[in-house]
Structure 1
C-alpha cells in the first residue's frame, strides 16, 4: 500500500490544474447564463420578431449550460485532493463503503447522465438549426429522455448492483474504487473507472458520433456563409475528437490502480477532453450566436433610424 501523503504530493499539480479548469468553466458557464437571460429579457421587452424566432430555443440553450455546470461540479467528487481536503473533514463518520458510494454516484452522473445529457442537447441544437419550421422546445426534452434514459438506467443498475455480475466478469470490468492508506493509520477511497462503464459509454459515443457527423454534414451542405461553415467544422472536429480521446483514455485507465501516479495523469486527460468539448459547444452554440443576433439587430436598428432621418430631411427639402 502506498502512503497517501506521497500520492497527494505526486498528484498535487494535476489536481490543482483540474480545479483551475473547473473554476474557469464555471465562470464561462455563468457568462453563458447571463447572455441567455439577457437575450430572453431583450426579446420580451422589445417584441422583436427576429429575436423572438432566434430565442425560441432559449430553454434548450439553458439546459445545455446547466448540464455542463452540474458535470463540472460533479468532477469535484472525483478529485482526491478536493474530496480528502474539503468533503471528508465535514463527514468524518463516512465509512469506506459510503466513500465508495460517492465514487459510484460520480460515475453514474458523469458517464450516465450529465455528459450524455449535454452532448444530446448540443446535437439537438445543431439538428434543429436546419429545420425550416421551428419545433417546440418540448421536443428537446422528449429527445433527451429517449436518448439518455437507457444509458443512465444501465449505468445505474450495473454500478450499484454489481453483485449480480461478480464471477461473470473480470475485476477490471467491475472495480469503481480502491483503498489506500491515509498515513494516519486509517484508510481512504480513491475513484476508478470500471471497464464496463467505459464500454457502455463507448457504445453510446459511436452511435452519437455517427448521427452527429450526419447532422454536421447536413448543416454544412445548406449553409452558404463561410464563417458558419468554419464554426461547424470546428465544432464537429472538437466533439468527435474529444469523445474518441475520452473513450481511449478511459480504457487505458484500467491499466493502473488509482493509487498510481499514471492513473491521475490519464484521469486528467479524460477530464480535459470533455472540458474542451464543453467549452467549444458553449462558444459556438450559445455565446457567439447570441452576440451575433444582438449585433445584427443593433445594426438594423441604427440603419432604420438613419434611413428614417434621411427620408425626413429629403421630404423637408422637397417641401421647401
Structure 2
C-alpha cells in the first residue's frame, strides 16, 4: 500500500532531523578526537597512545557518515515536487541528481563506511601496528583503493542501465536498472536499482565474511587458561569450583560478564601458581646442578 503524501513528507522531515543530529554529533566527535589527541601528545599519556592510534581513521569514518547523510537528504521526495527546493529544475536534471546519489551512496559512501569499520576492527585485533605514524595514511589509501572497483561497477551500471534495457535485458523489469521513477506530476523519484543493490549486498557479504574469518582466526590464536582440572591446580581448586559453579548457575549471564570477576581471580591464581612452580623447579634444578658438580668433582679426584 503506497504511503500518502503527508506520511512521505513526515518521514522526510524525520530523516532531515536525524541527519542534522548525525552531523552535529559527528562534528563534536571530530573536535573531541582532536582535543584528545592534543592532550595525549601534550601531557605524554603514552599508555593511551595505542588506543588513540587510529584517530585519523575515526575522523575519516565520521566524514564518510556525514557524506552519506547528505546523500540521504538529497534523495528525499520532500525537496521535490511543485513549490519545493528542486521544483525549479527539470526532470532530466533531477534524474541526474538521482544517478549521482546512487553512485555516491552505493558506490562510495557506504562501501567506504564498511571498509573503515573492517580496518578499525582488524586493527583492534592486532597486538601492534596502529601506533605507526604511517598506519593512518596507508589505511585511508587502502580504503579508497578497495572502494574504487565498487565505485566503477556502480558507475557502469547506472550509465549503462538504459542501454542494457534496450539491448540485452529487455525482458527484465525497469526497476532492475533504473534509478529513477517518474511521478504523475513529472517529478523524478530516486529509487535503488536492483542490480546495484545486489552488487552492493555482495560486497557487504564479502567484507563480513572476511571480518568473521579474521575474528575467528585471532580468537583461536589467543591462549586460553589451562584445563580446569582440580588435581592439576590444587592451589586454585576453590576458585575453579566457584568458577565452574558460576557457569552452571548462569548459562546466559556468563556471556554478559556474570563470571568475569571470578575469571580475573582465576587468571591471577594461575599466574601465582605458575610462579610458585617455576621457583620450585628452579630450586630443584639448582640442587641437581650442585649434586652433579659434586659428583664430577668426586669422580675427578678418584681418577687423579
Q: Shorter chain as normaliser: what TM range?
A: 0.5 to 0.7
Tell me the residue number matched to 1:117: 112
Moved more, 29-38 or 114-123: 29-38
Q: Relative to 1, partners in 2 of residues 1:13 and 1:27: Cα closer, same or farther, differing over 3 Å?
A: same
Larger radius of gyration: 2
Change (3 A) 1:176 1:230: farther
Stretches of structure 2 lacking an aligned partner (at least 5 in a row): 225-254, 258-304
Distance in 1 (CA, whole Å) between partners of 2:223 and 2:31 is: 28
Per-residue Cα deviation, 1:21-40 (whole angstroms, up to 9, x for no partner): 22222222223212211112
- Give 2:92's aligned residue: 97
Give the alignment's TM-score, normalised by structure 2.
0.64
In the other structure, the counterpart of 1:87 is 85
Partner SS state of residue 189, structure 2 = strand
CA-atom RMSD in angstroms: 2.6
SS at 1:54 equivalent? coil
1:150-299 paired onto structure 2 within 5 Å: 150-166=149-165, 167-169=167-169, 170=172, 171-182=174-185, 187-218=186-217, 222=222
Alignment partner of 1:44 is 2:41: yes
Higher relative contact order, structure no. (Cα contacts within 8 Å, ≥ 6 residues apart): 1
| Larger mean Cα displacement after TM superposition, 164-173 or 33-42 | 164-173
Unpaired segments ≥5 residues, structure 1 = 232-320
TM-superposed deviation, 1:219:
5.7
Question: Going by fraction, where is helix more abundant, 1 or 2?
Answer: 1
- Listed one character per residue, the Cα deviations across residues 178-232 of structure 1 (whole Å, up to 9, x for unaligned) are 11233xxxx21111111110111011011011112223445666599xxxx979x
Contact 2:64 2:109 in 1 (8 A): yes
- Rounded to whole Å, the distance in 2 between the matches of 1:193 and 1:219 is 37
Contact 2:103–2:158 (CA under 8 A) maintained in structure 1: yes
**8 Å contact from structure 1 (residues 77, 83) kept in 2:** no
Distance in 2 (alpha carbons) for counterparts of 1:156 and 1:223: 46
1:129 match: 124
C-alpha distance in 1 between matches for 2:223 and 2:189: 48
Q: Is the 8 A contact 1:71 1:114 kept in 2?
A: yes
Post-superposition, which runs of at least 4 consecutive aligned residues in structure 1 deviate over 6 A?
none
